Structures are given as C-alpha cells and as structure tokens.
C-alpha cells in the first residue's frame, strides 16, 4: 500500500508542477538559475570523474589483452563504447543523483520545514510549479550536455593515459575510437540521460517537498531522495537498455 501511496502522490505532485505557470517570464529566469546551479555547478565533478574513468578503462582493458591476436586499437573501441554506452550516461547520472539530488531534496525540505513553501502557497503561487518545474526542465535540458561533455573527456582521459603510459599508441587509439562507430549509441545514451535527469530532479524534489518535521527529517529526505533516485536510475538503465539495444 505504501508504495502505491508514494507513486500516487509523486504523480500528483509532478502533474501540479507542470501546471500553467503564474508568470512565464519568472519561470524562464528560474530555469536559467537552475541550469547554472545544477548544471554548470556540476561541470567540475563530471570532468574529474570522466577523465579518471576513461583513464582507468584504458589501463584495465590493455592489462587484460593477453592474446596477441587482439589488436591494440581495441583499447580505443572499448573505451569509446564503455564511455558512451554506460559510464557517461549511467555512472555520471548516479554521481549527479548524489550531488544534485541531495542538494534539491535538502533545499526543498528546508523550505518546507521553515514554512517558505507555505508562504508561496499563501501568496497564491503554485509552489510545486515554482520550485520543481524549473529544476526538472534545467536537468533534462542540461544533463545530456553534461553527458556529452563526459563522453569527450572520458575518451580524452583514456587517450592521454594510454599514450603517456605507452600501453597504446596514439594512432592505434584514434583508429580504435573511430572504428565501427554507431551514431545510434550516442542517441541511446542521450535518451537514457534525459530519463535519468528527470529522475534525478523529480524524485529528490518529491522527498524534499513532503518533508515533515525539522532538521533531522530534512537529512532523512535528502538520503531517501538520493537512494531512491539511484535505484530508479539503475532500474531504468536496465529497462531502456533492453528496449533500445535488443
């Protein structure tokens, strides 16, 4: 029963969040504000994680190439496909669920317990629309950009460590990343990142919005938001992979 209650309440909240805005220009400003906070503010962490992921995949793949029959350019292929298909969309989204999700849940949760959301409602403002809608739009718009950025940096990180450590030559790596490239893989990754972005923004927002109590509950909402959004990302990763790649 509990799960149905939460599902129902979540969908009602999302429906209300997408209701017609009171003043469109203010919502547009809010979307840009959120793009800056949630998107631009995540560039650093996404860059660091992507470079290291690409580097580690390169070294691990090269280390496991024991057969002389396997060409070394396959390192480039493995790095490209790993980054595009899984690491950039899924792992970076999980990291963002932690960073952005906890920030969204605690921001909205604090606003709830300090009566700021009540203040919005009293003013006749749709609080869910004003607070949640811009975060979802900003996330769904900007996360795919972050994911593309992550793909490039991951592959660049792999190239840099591969060439510097001598496990693969520059020519072999570049040949590898261009070998049998399928543009659909990028579209698949962008579809996944769009769905994950919706989860990253909406699930923690739901937990923050329905926070009851004080500071302790804000912390709990933040944790719940991150845990549930991470689990949903993994579940939708499987579902979308099954639907789009098989």
Partner 1 sequence: MIIGESGSGKTTILKCIVGLNDIDAGEVLFDGRNFYNLDFNGKKEIRKEIGMLFQGGALFDSKTVEENVVFPISMFTDLSVSEKRDRANFCLQRVNLENANHLYPSELSGGMKKRVAIARAIAVQPKYLFCDEPNSGLDPKTSIVIDNLIKEITEEYNITTMVITHDMNSVIEIGDHILFIYKGEKWWEGDKKEILKTDNKEVCDFVYATKFMKELKTKF
Which residues of the shown chain bind partner 1 in the complex (CB under 8 A)?
A: 22-23, 26, 110-111, 114-116, 118-119, 121-125
Question: HSE-up of 106 (CA within 13 Å, CB side)?
Answer: 14
Shortest CB 110 distance to partner 1, Å: 8
Query: Which whole-number Å values give the CA distances from 27 to 22, 109, 174, 176, 236, in the listed order?
Result: 8, 20, 44, 45, 29
Shortest CB 25 distance to partner 1, Å: 9
For residues 132 and 195, which CB has a smaller minimum distance to partner 1 in the complex? Answer: 132
Shortest CB 123 distance to partner 1, Å: 5
Shortest CB 203 distance to partner 1, Å: 22
Q: Which two tokens stand for residue 157?
A: 């990180």
C-beta atoms surrounding 47 within 10 Å? 17
Q: Which two tokens stand for residue 124?
A: 């006749």
Shortest CB 148 distance to partner 1, Å: 30
Q: What's the rounded Cα separation, in Å, for the pair 203 and 219?
A: 15
C-beta atoms surrounding 206 within 10 Å? 26
Q: What's the rounded Cα separation, in Å, for the pair 79 and 58?
A: 6
Shortest CB 92 distance to partner 1, Å: 27
For residues 106 and 229, which CB has a smaller minimum distance to partner 1 in the complex? Answer: 106
Helix residue ranges, H only, the chain: 2-17, 24-34, 43-64, 73-82, 92-113, 116-122, 127-131, 133-165, 170-178, 183-209, 215-245
Q: Which of helix, strand or coil describes residue 213?
A: coil
Q: What's the rounded Cα separation, in Å, for the pair 34 and 44?
A: 16
Shortest CB 206 distance to partner 1, Å: 19
For residues 111 and 136, which CB has a smaller minimum distance to partner 1 in the complex? Answer: 111
Q: What's the rounded Cα separation, in Å, for the pair 148 and 189?
A: 9
């Amino acid at each position: 029963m509990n799960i149905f209650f939460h599902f129902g309440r979540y969908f009602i909240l999302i429906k209300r969040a997408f209701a017609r805005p009171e003043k469109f220009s203010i919502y547009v400003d809010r979307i840009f504000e959120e793009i800056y906070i949630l998107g631009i503010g995540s560039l650093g962490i996404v860059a660091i994680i992507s470079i290291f992921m690409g580097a580690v995949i390169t070294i691990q793949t090269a280390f496991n190439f024991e057969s002389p029959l396997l060409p070394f350019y396959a390192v480039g292929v493995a790095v490209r496909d790993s980054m595009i298909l899984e690491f950039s969309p899924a792992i970076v989204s999980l990291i963002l669920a932690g960073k952005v999700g906890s920030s969204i849940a605690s921001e909205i949760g604090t606003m709830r317990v300090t009566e700021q959301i009540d203040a919005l409602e009293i003013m006749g403002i749709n609080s869910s629309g004003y607070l949640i809608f811009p975060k979802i739009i900003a996330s769904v718009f900007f996360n795919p950009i972050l994911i593309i950025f992550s793909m490039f940096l991951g592959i660049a990180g792999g190239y840099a460590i591969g060439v510097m450590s001598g496990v693969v030559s520059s020519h072999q790596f570049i040949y590898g990343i261009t070998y049998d490239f399928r543009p659909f893989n990028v579209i698949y990754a962008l579809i996944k990142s769009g769905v994950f972005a919706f989860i990253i923004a909406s699930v923690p927002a739901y937990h923050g919005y329905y926070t009851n109590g004080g500071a302790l509950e804000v912390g709990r909402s933040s944790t719940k938001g991150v845990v549930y959004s991470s689990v949903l990302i993994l579940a939708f990763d499987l579902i979308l992979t099954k639907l789009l790649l098989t």
